[in-house]
Amino acid sequence: MKFGADWVMVDSFVSSSARLSNLLRAFKYTDQFIIQTKIQTLCFRAHSYPIEHLAFDRSGLKLATGAQQELKVWRYLSAGLPSEFIVTFENLFYPQDRLRHVNDLSPPGAASLIAQESTLVTSLHWLHSGDDAGCLLATYLYQGIM
Amino acid sequence: MYVPYHFVGLELIGRPSGHADLSPDETQIAIFNQHDGVDIYKIPGAIWLKSYHFKIRDNIILPVYWIDEGLRLMVGSDSGTVCLWNVKNDAQLPSLLHGEIHAMAH
């Protein structure tokens, strides 16, 4: 199976100790040699509803996720390891990179364009300039811009 | 408990806020209003600047995106076309069609 420009995924399997941990092995072919890289995905339930909006900030360290009325902020934690390393037992079962839940942002209050309508996140954006740099801009279907 | 993010403010605008996209310079936000098109607001403050209208038949949330570094606005439609506007002169550009002929070309 091929993905990306010159990467080939060889196999994938789910670890026995963590059913939601999925390991992919990939190879990149260069002119001189072959690089083997492990791509490990650790899945977890982040929301009670389908996640419809994802927004990383420009640094790639902050992630906002929106699922209907739920809005959460996560921080990306990296162990700083190089992307290419040998797959070992420890690496297999103990992923180095992860997302840490930082905060739940409450939905807007009672103010609503239409009474009794449900609260739905419709977009998420991080601001990077001006006085509001670092702020998260969220739009709600009937509650406006927060 | 330390709360690094807190509520700053809520700007209630007079129309539903469907899908929205922030302009590249982060000074404007384009919001699909589910009624007659796309509204452009200045931020912060959610000050209405202008609107681009097109016919909407179904009450579904359509995508809107700034393209060309904020020079143009691209909006999906429920009629199978992609609508484009030049934001500088507000001119509507020819729509991108998704007819059967185009579909057969793929």
Provide the pLDDT for residue A100.
86
Residue pLDDT, tens place only, A86-127: 444 444 445 556 788 998 988 776 555 566 667 889 999 999
The residue segments making up the domain with residue A2 are 1-43
The answer to whether residue A52 is domain-embedded is yes
The CATH code of the domain that includes B98 is 2.40.10
Quick check: pTM over 0.90?
no
Q: Are residues A73 and A111 in the same domain?
A: yes
The answer to whether residue A87 is domain-embedded is no
Residue A76 · residue A65 · CB < 8 Å: no
How many domains does the structure of chain B reveal?
A: 1
State yes or no: pLDDT of A14 exceeds 50. Answer: no
Out of A127, A129, A143, name the one closest to residue B12 (CB).
A143
Residue A108 · residue A70 · CB < 8 Å: no
Q: Which residue has the higher pLDDT, B15 or B24?
A: B24
Q: Are residues A112 and A134 in the same domain?
A: yes
**Nearest Cα to Cα of residue B83 among B40, B37, B42:** B37
The answer to whether residue A92 is domain-embedded is no
Q: Are residues A55 and A11 in the same domain?
A: no
For residue A8, CA distances in Å to A24, A33, A36, A91, B59 come to: 10, 14, 10, 20, 42
How many domains does the structure of chain A reveal?
A: 2
**Nearest Cα to Cα of residue A137 among B39, B87, B42, B57:** B42
The residue segments making up the domain with residue B72 are 20-104
Q: Are residues A38 and A6 in the same domain?
A: yes
Q: Which residues of A touch B28 (CB under 8 A)?
A: none
Provide the pLDDT for residue B2.
43
The answer to whether residue A107 is domain-embedded is yes
Contacts of A131 (CB under 8 A, 6+ apart): none
Residue pLDDT, tens place only, A121-132: 999 999 998 888
Query: B18 and chain A: CB distance < 8 Å anywhere?
Result: yes
DSSP state letter for B14: S
Query: B10 and chain A: CB distance < 8 Å anywhere?
Result: yes
The answer to whether residue A122 is domain-embedded is yes
Average pLDDT, chain A: 72
Provide the pLDDT for residue A141.
87
The answer to whether residue A136 is domain-embedded is yes
Q: Are residues A5 and A77 in the same domain?
A: no
Q: Give A15's pLDDT tier (boundaries 50, 70, 90).
A: very low
Q: Are residues A104 and A139 in the same domain?
A: yes
Q: Which residue has the higher pLDDT, A60 or A1?
A: A60
Provide the pLDDT for residue A5.
54
**Nearest Cα to Cα of residue A41 among A24, A16, A18:** A24
Q: Are residues A114 and A66 in the same domain?
A: yes
Is the ipTM higher than 0.85? The answer is: no
Chain B closest CA to A122's CA: distance in Å? 5
